Amino acid sequence: MVESAEDTIKRIFGDSGSSLGSELADITSRFHAIDGVVFPKPKTTRFIAVANQKGGVGKTSSAVNLSAAMAVGGSKVLLIDMDPQGNASTAMNIPHSSADPSIYDVIEGRKTIADVKQECPDIAGLDVVPASIELSGAELEVAQMEDRNNLLKNAIDEFL
């Protein structure tokens, strides 16, 4: 018989109330409680923005992991990488050189999301709109546009 992780933790730490042992046992127990739970898919398209002015707070990691988890769970997901560094594109194994069509081309009105999106080669149901280094100068260009506040929204609405 194979011992569960929870039982192993209890065997090692006992019921002595060790904070580490109790915490590990609790986390393991909670993990097993949700393991296998099927979450219902939303009836309508949902939009999730992961944004923060500060760098290094986990925006890309959060967006990449949320996208992957939802796609693995059976949802159709479109991840739009808006960071000029393109780390979300890299994480999803999507080419994003300055020669590749990107979200920058969509913002500039040269292409649509349907034109630039790429299928993630590693995760079924996950499409990615790659970033481009050109995004670093887009803020100045977009500032001059009349409908700048709705550029991305309009592109997404057209795609859907």
- pLDDT per residue as tens digits for the range 1-49: 677 766 776 666 666 555 766 777 778 777 777 777 777 888 888 999 9
**Alpha carbon 131 to chain centroid, angstroms:** 14
Statement to judge: residues 70 and 131 lie in one domain: yes
Average pLDDT, the chain: 86
The tokens describing 71, both together, are: 């796609």
Q: Which of 121, 125, 79 is nearest to 102 (CA)?
A: 79
- Domain residues for 85? 59-159
Would strands 118-119 and 126-129 be described as parallel, antiparallel, or unpaired?
Answer: antiparallel
- Per-residue pLDDT, 76: 94
Residue whose pair of structure tokens reads 């992780």 in the numeric block: 5
Q: What is the number of other CB atoms lying within 10 angstroms of the CB of residue 41?
A: 11
Instruction: Find the CATH number of the domain harbouring 122.
Output: 3.40.50.300
Statement to judge: residues 83 and 154 lie in one domain: yes
- Per-residue pLDDT, 102: 93
Statement to judge: residues 15 and 64 lie in one domain: no
Would you say residue 78 has pLDDT above 90?
A: yes
The total number of structural domains in the chain stands at 2
- Per-residue pLDDT, 4: 73
Residue 63 within a domain: yes
Q: Which of 5, 47, 11, 48 is nearest to 29 (CA)?
A: 5
Statement to judge: residues 132 and 82 lie in one domain: yes
Statement to judge: residues 79 and 9 lie in one domain: no
Statement to judge: residues 19 and 92 lie in one domain: no
Q: What is the pTM of this model?
A: 0.74
5-13 and 19-34 are packed helices; what angle lies between their axes, rounded to 10 degrees? 170
Statement to judge: residues 85 and 29 lie in one domain: no
Residue 44 within a domain: no
Q: State pLDDT tens for residues 85-141.
A: 999 999 999 988 888 999 999 988 899 999 999 999 999 999 999 999 988 887 778
